[in-house]
Structure 1
Amino acid sequence: MSYTGPDFDPPQPRRLRRGPLTVALAALVPGALLGWVVYEAVGGGPGGEDRTASSVPSAPASSPGDDGRPSAPAAGRPDSARPLTGMVVVVDPGHNPGNFRHTAEINRPVDIGTNRKECDTTGTSTNDGYTEARFTLDLAHRLRTLLQRQGATVKLTHDGDGPPWGPCVDERARIGNTAHADAAISLHADGSAAGNRGFHVILPGSVHAGAADTRGIVGPSRDLGVRVAGGYRRETGEPPSNYLGGGTGLVTRTDLGGLNLSTVPKVFIECGNMRDSKDAALLTDGAWRQRAAQGISEGIVSFLHGS
């Protein structure tokens, strides 16, 4: 692009002398041309087009906010680090450490839909006196911690600091229903004969009688149970029961009030046989209980996350 303006004399061939104005303008021309080139290069031309856009990387979609912190996930987008955010899990530690001192209260019959059954029982124990109620409460605390790390709201049916007995089986179911739990699990350990060992997960059968109607939860409860069984076996190495469930680790029952009266997906897990020496050695070991909690947690997360 050429420039012509007032008082500019094009150079003449073989001219030996130039006037003062010519010399001054000649000195200014390179600067003017350089300024125009820079102006155009940085986007100062018409429309503000960035001439160097192809050489400047665009900011990533997840670039930090103005305060330097990563931008929050968009509304409705799940937080991959806490996939259970907004979900509710009810954990039911089987029995209560104080039940054995309140036999009259726990023997009171309650309606479980199909019939009437005692409010609760004392549970079992190892031959050395480690009770099922102590085991389930410890396991529940470990499981709660793991699920909370995943973002879940976790409610326990009892926490060892409330009434010295119960709650009754119908109330345990009601706690999950009232919470509109996305999943519920009742933790237990069995008291079968020595030599019988392994775990099993109890699924609700189809019941429609009195206050009980499990027809809507049978399918999702089975899905939950299968996933819990898989996670539990993988993390603990505990085999499926050799005395119930035909080696599948899954048993369906219609005589448990905690399942019959549930309106949310729910299963029981019998974590092992407290009367078998091999299982008892595991159930009484804190490090193993942590693995048990991890396996159960993985099953619940898988169920709720749909993965």
Structure 2
Amino acid sequence: MHHDDSPPAPRPPRRSKLALTLALAVSASAALAGWLAWGAMSGAAESAPPTARPAPGPSASAPSPAAPGPSVAASSVAAPLAGRTVVIDPGHNPGNFKHPREINRLVDIGTNRKECDTTGTSTNSGYTEAAFTLDVSRRLRTLLQEQGATVVLTQDADRPYGPCIDERARIGNTAGADAVVSVHADGSAVGNRGFHVILPAVVKGGAADTSKIVGPSRALGESVAREFARATGSAPANYLGGGTGLDVRKDLGGLNLSTVPKVFVECGNMRDPKDVASLTDAAWRQRAAQGIAAGVRTYLRG
């Protein structure tokens, strides 16, 4: 209810003209300062990068990009023989001596016929070439696989005898091998020392045609001979090859029937006592495998 006799509401006190003038001056100054500050900031913003992040100074580090995956170069260093196939042919199955009839069977080697295989030689104390070649071949397989190669052995003492020399060649051919190395040890006279690498001669007859592999096989053989000497400290044979460590032959079916680069490595003479000291030493056999592996790698890497 409204009463006419209620006291009137109090009125705010009046400001003097001087106070009002001062208030307006302060307000204008603040506005001008704010405008100037905004202008400075706008100018800085126009010249700053869109991200408005300060560029890293000497002590700051810029954000690192995402780490890339392994490069082709890094992969090739880690596995230089990736994509390559190497066939290792350990000479003479350890079981051959139990199967004389089978290994004496004649097979076609293109230019003529020859025994399927032989038992191989041995030291005077009975350490067989077959045991030696299998040991070196297994070591060689490990080394090549560690470098990324696909490795096939023609035999791993996993069959009663053989394979015959014609089948050994077919295994390399069927695999499309980039290189084939047949591992052996010689059975020459006492005093005949050192290693040699056997290369295919130019042969054409029947199923044999080495014309396309003679050049590549020589390159492979020279590389293996060089690296074998370096790894083992052995000298080239003093009884053949004219000191080169290389011997060219046309009577070996394993070479005649090959359609891919192939060599034989005669690692030493099992009838010479000084060579035997090396051939029967496991550490030396490891070096022999390393030398052959290095030769194959150098050849395949060009």
TM-score normalised per structure 2? 0.85
AA aligned to 2:26 is G
Q: Within 1, Cα distance between the matches of 2:243 and 2:62? A: 58
| Alignment match of 1:30 (pick from 27, 34, 37) | 37
Q: 1:84 maps to what in 2?
A: 81
Summarize deviations over 1:12-52 as a string: whole Å, max 9, x none. xxxxx93314314414643652465256322369xxxx995
| Alignment match of 2:247 (pick from 242, 245, 251) | 251
AA aligned to 2:116 is C
Q: 2:213 maps to what in 1?
A: 217
Q: 2:116 maps to what in 1?
A: 119
Q: Within 2, Cα distance between the matches of 1:225 and 1:292? A: 14
Q: Within 2, Cα distance between the matches of 1:197 and 1:33? A: 92
Q: Does 1:101 align with 2:108?
A: no
Summarize deviations over 1:197-239 as a string: whole Å, max 9, x none. 1000000000000000000000000000000000000010111
**Structure 1: 5+ residue runs without aligned partners?**
1-16
AA aligned to 2:71 is P
Q: 1:274 maps to what in 2?
A: 270
AA aligned to 2:199 is L
* Structure 1 ranges of 4+ moved more than 4 A: 50-60
Q: Within 1, Cα distance between the matches of 2:204 and 2:74? A: 38
Q: Within 1, Cα distance between the matches of 2:174 and 2:122? A: 31
Aligned length: 280
Q: Within 2, Cα distance between the matches of 1:154 and 1:31? A: 75
After superposition, where does 1:156-305 map in structure 2 within 5 Å?
Answer: 156-160=153-157, 162-305=158-301
Report the secondary structure of 2:78's partner residue: coil
Q: Within 2, Cα distance between the matches of 1:179 and 1:254? A: 23
| Alignment match of 1:18 (pick from 25, 49, 62) | 25
Q: 1:5 maps to what in 2?
A: none
AA aligned to 1:305 is R
**Structure 2: 5+ residue runs without aligned partners?**
1-23
Deviation, structure 1 residue 163: 1.4
CA RMSD, aligned part only? 2.8
Indicate if the aligned counterparts of 1:41 and 1:52 stay in contact, CA closer than 8 A.
Answer: no
Q: 1:152 maps to what in 2?
A: 149
Larger helix fraction of residues = 2
Q: Within 2, Cα distance between the matches of 1:32 and 1:136? A: 88
Q: 1:128 to 1:29 in 2, by over 3 A?
A: farther
Indicate if the aligned counterparts of 1:189 and 1:271 stay in contact, CA closer than 8 A.
Answer: yes
Q: Within 1, Cα distance between the matches of 2:136 and 2:92? A: 13
TM-score normalised per structure 1? 0.84
Q: Determine what percentage of the aligned residue pairs are the same residue.
A: 62
Indicate if the aligned counterparts of 1:187 and 1:269 stay in contact, CA closer than 8 A.
Answer: yes
Indicate if the aligned counterparts of 1:245 and 1:251 stay in contact, CA closer than 8 A.
Answer: yes
| Alignment match of 1:72 (pick from 70, 73, 97) | 70
Q: Within 2, Cα distance between the matches of 1:236 and 1:251? A: 19
Larger Rg over CA atoms: 2
